[in-house]
Structure 1
Amino acid sequence: MKDEKKRTLYLKVRVSPEEMAAIKKKFENSGMSSLSGFVRAMVFEGYIVHIDENELKRLTVLANNIANNINQIAHRANVTNKVYKEDIEEIKELGDKLWRPLMFLHTKVAQLKH
């Protein structure tokens, strides 16, 4: 408990009952043994992430459009029993359109870990 003796300052934060309930729930789910330690960990190691909902919506729309296009190609292949080179190229292009923003998102999330 050597570290606790160094902690001579007191931090007081006001929260609503709902906020306290949320904090306690997160603390319980953390597996940590002390609420003070949990709060310190969140202050020093936690992240505030701003998510641009419009970008996520754009990515979702893109993924849905790609899935629809791939389904149309699969349907055509099932009906005709033929797979066309153009269809395979289109699937590759669609995959590339989705891959780039997903890799960008992956890079941003990976930066949070460091």
Structure 2
Amino acid sequence: MDKQRKRSRAVLLRFSEEEILFLHTKMREAGIKNREAYLRKMALDGYIIRKDYSELKSLINELNHIGNNLNQMTKVANTYGGDHIQLSELKAIEGGLKKIWQQLSSLE
């Protein structure tokens, strides 16, 4: 080749078999047959979505604490009777916590 390449710098990427299959699927969806062109376009113009779950993790941590306290209260109520703690109130709290956990579990 007498011509000087426009792109003279090479970058080596390694993929697993599953990743290559996924890459080919994404290329087909984009209508691009040239792998080098696809990877260059994604590397230069693509974007990565980064989600911050720190608040959600904090909420889950607090719910764990509430759940632990609820378990301790239930143990006291079962051991010493309902005079100290109302079982109906504990059941209501437990039901509310279960609802919250179900909602959190459905989040991604």
How does the TM-score come out when normalised to structure 2?
A: 0.42
Of structures 1 and 2, the one scoring higher in RCO (CA 8 A, sep 6+) is 1
How does the TM-score come out when normalised to structure 1?
A: 0.40
> Which protein has the larger Cα radius of gyration, Structure 1 or Structure 2?
2
